[in-house]
Amino acid sequence: MNDNGRFGPIEWAVAARPLPGQEECGDQAVAVAVNEEAAVFGVIDGLGHGPDAAAAARRAVAVIGEHLDEAPEAMVTHCHRELATTRGAAMTLACIDFDTDTVQWVGVGNVAAHLVARAPSGMETSSSARLANGIVGFQLPRVQSSESVDMRPGHLLVMASDGITDDHLDALDFGAPAETIANRILREHCRVTDDALVLVARHRGTI
């Protein structure tokens, strides 16, 4: 599965594939413009793999689409209620405000999210989402979105399910399009034992 686009100053791309031998991917992405001033990005990892995991993840994506005007933690709470009859899911959501060049995020489970920038040494991690232990739809801890974090032109937001290895930020090509970065991470850092999905969003500055 591949998808890409641009919302305001944000160029984004998704690359994903199901567990080898499965037809459906239990990992799903969220990439939607709220209005001309903001967008929501996220990665949903349905518990396990196969059709049931995919159904849980798709349901979460639909619920988020119904509550785009709410805070990230409220979206997670709505998902928790709606996923009670599913396998449940891990998820991380990031809301980017184009006017203030900031991002707020919240995570439950093992979907990593990092805001990274080029540095003289090669790369620096500006910020990482704090992930709460739990399963959306089964056991939800108290969740609260982060304080606003600066996301400036040139920054990359990289979100990945646990089907992507922990070293996926190594040797990022900051000069490449978001689609190229996402495809390379999937190709070089996916685990053969799980579904895998990576979402890359780059702040390109004004159009």
Mean per-residue pLDDT, 20-44: 95
According to the model, what pLDDT value does residue 121 have? 64
End-to-end C-alpha distance for the chain, whole angstroms: 27
Identify whether the C-beta of residue 60 lies closer than 8 Å to the C-beta of residue 28: yes
Identify whether the C-beta of residue 128 lies closer than 8 Å to the C-beta of residue 175: no
pLDDT at 190 exceeding the cut of 80:
yes
Mean pLDDT of the chain: 92
Q: How many domains is the chain partitioned into structurally?
A: 1
Mean per-residue pLDDT, 156-166: 96
Domain that holds residue 151: 2-203
Structure tokens at 146: 């982060």
pLDDT at 120 exceeding the cut of 70:
no
Share of the chain above pLDDT 70, in %: 95
Give the domain CATH number at 66. Answer: 3.60.40.10
